[in-house]
Amino acid sequence: MGLRLDIKKLLSQRSSRVKSVEFHPTEPWILAGMYNGQVMIIDYNTSNVIKTFEVTDAPVRAVRWITRKNWIVIGSDDMLIRIINYNTYEKVATMEGHTDYLRCLAVHAEKPFILSSSDDMTVRLWDWEKGFKSIMTFEGHTHYVMSVVFSPKDGNIFATASLDKTIKVWSLNSSVPNFTLEGHSKGVNSVEFYHGGDKPYLVIERTVKVWDYQNKCCLQTLSAHSNNVSAVCFHPDLPLIISAGEDGTIRMWNSGTFRLENTLNYSFERGWSLCYLKGMNVMGFGYDEGTVVIKIGKEEPTMSMDSSGKIVWAKNNEIMSANVKNVEEIKDGERLNLNVKEMGNSEVYAQNLQHSPNGRFVVVCGDGEYTIYTSLAWRNKSYGTALEFVWSLDSNEYAIRESTSIVKIFKSFKEKEILKIPFSAEGLFGGVLLGVKSSNFLCFYDWETCKLIRRIDITAKNVYWSDNNELLAIVSEESFYVLKLNVEEYKLKIDSEISEDGIEESFEFICEVNESVKTGCWNGDCFIFTTNSNKLAYAVGNEVSTISMFDSPFFILGYVAKDARLYLADKDLNLISYSLSLNIISFKSFVLRNELNSAFSLLSSISQSDKNILAHFLEKQGLKEKALEISNDEEHCFNLSIQLNKLQVAFELAEKDPSNDSKWRQLADAALSDWNFELAEKALWKSNDFSTLLILYQASGDSNGLLRLATTAEELNQDNIAFNAYFLTHNHDKIINLLVKSQRFSEAVIYSQSYCPLKLSLVFSKWKSSLPKKIANRIMDPQSNPDQFPHLQTSLNAESWINSQRFSTLSGHHLQNYQSILNSDIHQAAASNTFPSISTVKFSSNVSVQRYQDDLKSTDGRSDNMSLEVNTTGTRDDFLEDLDMENMKLEDINEDNDDF
């Protein structure tokens, strides 16, 4: 049976004829050179055209990336080679030298060299570090040179293919070919080296020929195309020879057996070019009608690890092994240096490797066959044909999927039972029960009786059983489901009649987790997994914790309990490891089962850094008191203290980080909500939250606090706060000084006339001196012109009387006793010199001030210090009508002196 290759089309982009394609090595981009003279960069993941370059009116036949310089190099029928910066569109260089059409380009992997082949029958070597000059010309072909390629093993060697029916192999330091391969009846369009050794393969006529150029003999001729073959390559990672032809087909051949494995036809007319991306299993093709990109096979490495840490992997047919226990120092996330041992060879191309549960055997699957080997001596134990292979819980028992309707069960390497599936079986899953999936549901069967245990309506990608054989994770496209197997329930009913849905009580649903799982494994009650977004995480119940994020995909090999480490590998067989304490997992499991005593008994064996992680877990479970007990992360402890209303603890923690204003504001808000004004005041001062302090002091009647706030705010140039605080404490002189210091003389005059006319003359002179002479001459001094300001003297008399009464020393509790005085017209009284007498006010023996139980709790005595306000200027309609100075803010007062 042939290779079973999964092929997925990633891009199908129609355009003008595409003569050349190449992948970007790191970005999901394919470069396409077109017959109409354009060059495009296409994102094959999104099908979006990233950039288009209008290069020439002549056909473009060759394009290549030079990513280390951010360049693309373009060869066309106008006989020019152009280099363009693909980020800036800058034309870096234009190279002339060929006298006919450009056919092919090759870029050296390390040196600043470009090779170009042409219809002028020559190959030229260009050096961009020497001014993009042609430093050597290789002559010897007698017809068009269609293809040129560097050897992947030796960058000093390259090969050329020509329509003169020859292949020539050259060295960069000699213009004479090393040797020539002859014997073709027609011209050769393409040549490329084998990536696994020094064997170039060639394309001639309608066939693909594989040559051993060391022995100068043709190894194999592959015939399948019905028209000329335009391009061919050895796949760098898979055992495939891939060719594209003018018959519109793509042919895939097994490079080991030379058997035709697959034929693809995307109806894009003639095929002209192809490219591959090493390590990514993607192929690109250029056609008459556009560009196609496909993905072949899987990215997951062919690798397996047993419970002791022994790893086995396959590189094509070669089997290698290593043991992680031989690695001395392991750091999280760092690549492991393994001592690799050659185990032997596999008779088939290994597409899957699986250790048996006890680690004694390893099965190799591929080419529609399976072979079971002993893991130590690598001796063949059994083999057969199968589409799929899975192990039972017993290492002597396994099952194979022979077809979509037949599953065979083997015991001790002998066929035990044939299970005829009443639906189209698309996959098998091993473990405690035998899982068989269809396109939209999953069935579990008992290994012994082959009876249906349960049908679950889910499109399953994979199934993972826990080590204790009780829990399983069923992975779907966007999430996974955790179920618990009730062994006793299904064994009680397995001998009775079972419905088509199986035994309902056999499984208990635990939870669903919305994570797209790529690979996974269990450790106790913890499911560890990687996601499609390259995240490594684990779930205990539906609680997900992230371990790390990756830049590229990694795949879980397994967890070694004795090392408490998780091992992963990428597609290039690079291994990394992460520590994952079993105690942490057990702690979380106990908490979720509400066994808190058992959970906290493990804390003595858990490091403090891990305790901090567990504190966050406890917080999510609503156990905030417990979280505060075990955490020593000050930030987390502070947040927990706020949530638990342990404000004194929060205050002590905030004092350890006194410059963190956000903590103090958070504490102040919590203290205000708890009516703890004393603590709130401290926190507000720590955070310099003067606005809230102003409200607090005003609401509580704390004149001393307002004076302190005003003084501090003035020192820190927070004039609005200082103004309001001085105003609330009737410090009119301070306000005048503040306005004068701020060069706001017009506002100072307005304020002085309204609240302290005795200062008016001084402020007025400063204002007038600050103005241009023309404007100053237009302004009249009230005190120098009393006849124009008849009410000024009355205001001065009112201010003098107010100052003599010392209202600022009176308690706010006695407001009702002075209400009649405050309601009287002081301005009119000053005009008639009949001021009310404060000595006539009678005080009640019991001053009653109504309070509300749920209002201010700690303001007793503060209102005693708040002074009463009396305005001195009456209606002031002779100066400024309807000016509400009690709500005045500096920025709200018009600064235009002309308007005044």
Average pLDDT, whole number, for the chain? 85
- Residue 35 in domain: no
pLDDT band at 845 (very low <50, low <70, confident <90, very high): very low
- Residue 368 in domain: no
pLDDT over threshold 60, residue 899: no
For residue 857, what are the CA distances in angstroms to 568, 664, 851, 899? 61, 22, 9, 48
CA 811/CA 788 separation, integer angstroms: 39
- Domain limit, last residue, from 296, 311, 333: 296
**Residue recorded with tokens 């507000």:** 684
pLDDT over threshold 90, residue 91: yes
- Residue 676 in domain: no
pLDDT tens digit sequence for 495-538 = 888 888 999 999 999 999 999 999 999 988 889 999 999 999 99
- Domain limit, last residue, from 296, 314, 331: 296
- Residue 760 in domain: no
On the CB side of 776, CA atoms within 13 Å amount to 11
Percentage, residues of the chain above pLDDT 70: 89
Strands (E), 175-305: 179-181, 188-193, 200-204, 207-212, 217-223, 229-234, 240-245, 249-254, 260-265, 271-277, 282-287, 290-296, 303-305
Q: Tell me the CATH number at 199.
A: 2.130.10.10
Enclosing domain of residue 822: 792-878
CA 107/CA 391 separation, integer angstroms: 48
CA 148/CA 126 separation, integer angstroms: 14
What is the DSSP track for 434-455? EEEE-SS-EEEE-TTT--EEEE
**Token pair for 650:** 């929060």
- Domain limit, last residue, from 296, 316, 341: 296
pLDDT tens digit sequence for 790-834 = 777 777 777 777 777 666 556 666 666 677 776 777 777 777 777
Mean pLDDT, residues 744-748: 85
> Domain total for the chain?
3
What is the pTM for the complete model shown?
0.66
pLDDT over threshold 50, residue 882: no
pLDDT tens digit sequence for 7-55 = 899 999 999 999 999 999 999 999 999 999 999 999 999 999 999 999 9
Angle at 871 between CA 867 and CA 872, to 5 degrees: 125
| Most confident of the ranges 294-308, 788-802, 876-890 | 294-308
Task: Mean pLDDT check: name the lowest of 271-285, 666-680, 747-761, 792-806.
Answer: 792-806
CB-CB contact of 630 with 614 (8 Å)? yes
**Residue recorded with tokens 């036809």:** 265
- Residue 171 in domain: yes
**Residue recorded with tokens 């699986």:** 354
pLDDT tens digit sequence for 172-201 = 999 999 999 887 778 888 898 887 654 556
- Residue 605 in domain: no
- For residue 763, give the nearest of 738, 728, 789, 729 by alpha carbon: 738
CB-CB contact of 367 with 3 (8 Å)? yes
Compare 694 and 849 and report the one with higher pLDDT: 694
Mean pLDDT, residues 361-367: 91
- Residue 309 in domain: no
- Residue 837 in domain: yes
Task: Mean pLDDT check: name the lowest of 142-146, 434-438, 614-618.
Answer: 614-618
- Is the torsion defined by CA of 684, 685, 691, 692 positive or negative? positive
Mean pLDDT, residues 328-336: 84
Mean pLDDT, residues 665-690: 90
